[in-house]
A and B are shown apart, each in its own frame.
Chain A
Amino acid sequence: MAELLSLGEKAVKLALKLGATEAEAFLSQTVQNLLTFHEKIESGKTSRLTGIGVRAIIDKRIGFASSSSKKTSDIESVARMAVAIAKASPRDSDWHSLPREGGRAKVDGTFDKKIAEMEPDALARRATEIIDLIRSRDRRLAPARGHLTTGVVTCSIVNSRGPELSKRGTYASFSIRVKAEDAGKKATSDEGWQARSWRETESQKLAEEASQRAIKMLDASPIPNTRTPVIFASDLFAEILNVMFTRTINAEAIQKGRSPWAGKIGQQIAKENTNIIDDGTMKGGFMTWSFDDEGIPQQRTSVVKDGILMSYLYDTYTAAKDKVASTGNGSRRGTGMFGVGNLYTRPPTPAPSNFVLKPGDTKKDELIEETREGLYVVTSIGEWLSNPMSGMLNATVTNAFLVRRGELTTPVKGVIVSGSFFDMLRNTIDLIADDTRNAGNFYSPSVRVREMTVAGR
């Protein structure tokens, strides 16, 4: 961390010397191990990437430049480039200041020593255990694709207006696709987890679940067009929340006119039993950090309370524009021009931290038992193509079961489940279970929707 901070200091000092009125350096170092496998281990890798992003401001003109490297000469050229871009940029009258209220929140469960000390070659044994578990279970089963990741991220911020800050955290993830093959029929089922600490037993449990389901999915086929109740599994609905809220609940989207939630603070946007929080301090949360990517302490923000829209998510820039305080949601994760980016390559914009739909009091099993007829959707593809502006939700089902008189029956795939997400929130989500799971930084229980359109055969 000391090394990153000293590089950051150099960059900020040079930017100020070249004429910047304020300057900030964000540095990150990521060490990641990844192992991919099917029935055999395909490949293991380890990577180490260090980089810096500099924001330079000259009289409300903002410039940003970044580079991978920790060589002094490279750091200096990043600072120079940021200043040159600031000089070429028009004045942004909404610019207020770099963050002045930097600091830390108290958080827990963000660093797992076991992950940090894991050698790059330690994942092979764990993958082997998973492979053996699946293969020994049933002759029709085999792992089709899986991965194990561990990582350690270190970030430092140097800001001419605020305190110097550093943070370090760990993450890990696992995914498994089990294939079943029998009498010319094929099926696959996916499971996985993403967390801040290592979850050995969870991997085995999920591999077992995917195995059981893959066998059942051998007989899956589309069903005819219908309208029917739909139950979404917890982690799938978490992903749907991501699609529908990430790009629209942040204050930037509101201020720039690209959100259906604009002007709706204080209004009933969901049923009274709906509560959503953005909790940047949740214990062990996937996006829990003591401060956000511009140095503001992370916090807990009520987004929807008893169905009423309470708040948008702010970083320093958008907060100043609305004359409120940042909610500690300054994030550099965003997607770069290329779709994926390293933290240091982006200036901060507001984005959810741990976005949580609070669980209800229905047991997961009851959700199914209380459904006379419907479709229980476990996994889908393409749900991320849904439209958060129009609210149109479309999920193409890959693993699902018909529900008849409270029991899972015929397996289903290849149909599209559609409906208005806005209507679901306001009216048609009639049961919320108590079984929270996460898809990255989105947390949700399973939910039942009273009626949706299913496009099929």
Chain B
Amino acid sequence: MEDLLAKLVDEARRLGASYSEARFQELVTTEVAVENGSLKTYESDRLRGIGVRVLLDGSWGYASCSDVELSQLKKAARQAVKIARSSRRRGLEAEVGLQRTVQDRTSVQTRIESSDVSPEEKVRIGIEANKAAMIGDTVKNATTRLGTFTDMRLFVNSEGSRIEVNSSMAGLRQLSVAASAGKMERVSDGESQCAGFEFIQDRDWTKFCREISELATKAVDAQMPAAGTFEVVADPDLVGLILHEAFGHASEGDLVTTKESVLQGKLGTTLAGQDVTICDQGIIEGGYFVPYDDEGVSKTQTTIVEEGILKGDLQSRQTATKMRAKPTGNARAMSFDNNPIVRQTNYYMRPRDYSFEELVEGIERGYYIKGRGAGGGQVDVGGGTFTFAVGPSFLIERGQIKEMVRGTTVTGMVLETLETIDAVGKDLKISTSAFGGCGKGGQMVRVGDGGPHVRIRKITLGGQA
């Protein structure tokens, strides 16, 4: 396969490209879905193909194909070159800078390959976990999804780099729907890890699934929080989501170079208190596995905010060249049929020294907002507004955790929110998911995020008047 990619890269160069790269991918996915005690679907998919990217007179062109045959691939190379030519009049004037060539092969460590586990065993585990979630008449629906995948990516470029990255993941996700007194509520959550099937076998999923159902049962009887702006303590799951939406996207180099991001021109300025340090890191416990990005650049640790000061952005080779910075290994593609674009990897806040009790004790009236059952978020990078959902949460009154409130939607302004983080906890949790990721430009990629518990002085909650 490496030779085929090398031929493709050469063909693109022969056709006039100043730089070219080819990527092969084979992604094997298995998903077992069990609903209300019965197997709903068992799906097994294999996605395979090659993409070729060329740079010609400062313009990019990309073509991909699921037929892995030299004749088809040569056609793809011609198309990529033709597309690049057509964009020249308004091209990016892109450059990729100098990059050291890399020859490497690296993998997630696994004990049990998911492909070695029989379908019967996967169905058995799924059904057993699902049955545990059916805890009574209030629970109207329990859906359990068990998912595994292996993603093999091979990268070859015209500078002589050859990199193979094998990542594997396993996870389980539970959705429980509860109904009570004419009202319905749903809560879902999952746990995933870059690992083999041992991650599934070593855990007590019946306990996990039962807890989700218990949470849904409690939440359905809870009140909505009050609408308005409050002081909150956010748990690590939510801190990850807040950082990812409220700050991570705005620090993506492509959005900065096009001046779309509210962080453009702010390097070196103070954006937050001294307690706030934010990093993006390719390999970290609990996170997704990104040793190299899809441009073959090694992804190590990038410090974005250090003690409150904006230190850097996330870069691809092209945005780095344009901003006279170093590539940070953040050019990522969903699959072989997509262009790499600037993405986060594992984005998190470093812990400091507050205990949970200390974070809560100063709050007169606010909320302890939680990530379990949250469901995602979104940001308007230019306007600076971000939003995300929170799961079932708790009222805080006079420094005490009080009753549960239903999940809701939260909003804030990118720069304002970071500024109002006034206390950072001493715990740390980073997590990722096999079942979804972050969407940008029509591409989903897997990311990790997290941090400690933090206190935020000002955030707006949707709810009851």
Q: Do A and B bind each other?
A: yes
Question: Interface on A for B, CB 8 Å cutoff?
Answer: 34-51, 62-71, 74, 81, 84-85, 88-90, 92, 119-122, 124-125, 127-128, 131, 142, 144-145, 147, 177, 179, 181, 186-188, 217, 220, 222, 225, 227, 256-258, 260, 336-340, 342, 345-347, 381-382, 384-387, 389-390, 392, 394, 396-399, 413-418, 453-457
In the bound assembly, the distance between CA atoms of A89 and B32 in angstroms comes to 10
In the bound assembly, the distance between CA atoms of A120 and B183 in angstroms comes to 51
Decide: B259 and A179 in contact? CB cutoff 8 A. Answer: yes
Residue of A48, A67, A382 near B387 (CB, 8 A) is: A382
In the bound assembly, the distance between CA atoms of A328 and B460 in angstroms comes to 43
Decide: A339 and B380 in contact? CB cutoff 8 A. Answer: no
Taking the nearest CB of chain B, how far is it from the CB of A350, in angstroms?
13
In the bound assembly, the distance between CA atoms of A50 and B224 in angstroms comes to 47
Decide: A415 and B460 in contact? CB cutoff 8 A. Answer: yes
What residues of B have a CB within 8 angstroms of the CB of A128 in the complex?
89-90
What residues of B have a CB within 8 angstroms of the CB of A81 in the complex?
44
Decide: A337 and B376 in contact? CB cutoff 8 A. Answer: no
In the bound assembly, the distance between CA atoms of A43 and B59 in angstroms comes to 7
Q: Pick the 9 closest A-B CB pairs, nearest first.
A: A188-B382, A121-B86, A394-B409, A396-B387, A416-B462, A382-B387, A88-B119, A45-B62, A455-B227
Decide: B46 and A453 in contact? CB cutoff 8 A. Answer: no
Question: Interface on B for A, CB 8 Å cutoff?
Answer: 29, 31, 35-36, 38-39, 41-49, 51, 59-67, 76, 79-80, 82-87, 89-93, 118-120, 123, 127, 140-141, 143, 145, 147, 149, 175, 177, 183-186, 224, 227-229, 254, 258-260, 262, 334, 337-339, 375-389, 406-413, 434-437, 439, 441-442, 444, 460-465
Decide: A257 and B123 in contact? CB cutoff 8 A. Answer: no
Decide: B434 and A88 in contact? CB cutoff 8 A. Answer: no
Taking the nearest CB of chain B, how far is it from the CB of A252, in angstroms?
9
Residue of B48, B83, B229, B434 near A69 (CB, 8 A) is: B48
In the bound assembly, the distance between CA atoms of A328 and B405 in angstroms comes to 41
Decide: A188 and B79 in contact? CB cutoff 8 A. Answer: no
Decide: A346 and B382 in contact? CB cutoff 8 A. Answer: no
What residues of A have a CB within 8 angstroms of the CB of B49 in the complex?
49, 68
What residues of B have a CB within 8 angstroms of the CB of A457 in the complex?
229, 460
In the bound assembly, the distance between CA atoms of A37 and B89 in angstroms comes to 13
Closest residue of B by beta carbon distance from A87: B119
Decide: A124 and B64 in contact? CB cutoff 8 A. Answer: no
| Other 13 A-B pairs with CB < 8 A, given A46-B76, A340-B334, A455-B228 | A40-B90, A48-B64, A67-B48, A90-B127, A217-B383, A256-B141, A336-B29, A337-B43, A338-B435, A389-B184, A389-B186, A394-B408, A455-B463
Decide: B465 and A89 in contact? CB cutoff 8 A. Answer: no
Decide: A396 and B46 in contact? CB cutoff 8 A. Answer: no
Closest residue of B by beta carbon distance from A394: B409
In the bound assembly, the distance between CA atoms of A360 and B59 in angstroms comes to 48
In the bound assembly, the distance between CA atoms of A346 and B441 in angstroms comes to 23
Taking the nearest CB of chain B, how far is it from the CB of A84, in angstroms?
7
In the bound assembly, the distance between CA atoms of A35 and B84 in angstroms comes to 11
Decide: B62 and A43 in contact? CB cutoff 8 A. Answer: yes
Taking the nearest CB of chain B, how far is it from the CB of A86, in angstroms?
9
Decide: B186 and A88 in contact? CB cutoff 8 A. Answer: no
What residues of A have a CB within 8 angstroms of the CB of B177 in the complex?
257-258, 389
Taking the nearest CB of chain B, how far is it from the CB of A174, in angstroms?
13
| Contacts A45-B63, A50-B66, A65-B43; A396 near B409 (Cβ below 8 A) | yes
| Contacts A179-B382, A187-B382, A188-B382; A390 near B93 (Cβ below 8 A) | no
Decide: A120 and B83 in contact? CB cutoff 8 A. Answer: yes
| Contacts A225-B227, A416-B460; A49 near B258 (Cβ below 8 A) | no
What residues of B have a CB within 8 angstroms of the CB of A90 in the complex?
38-39, 123, 127
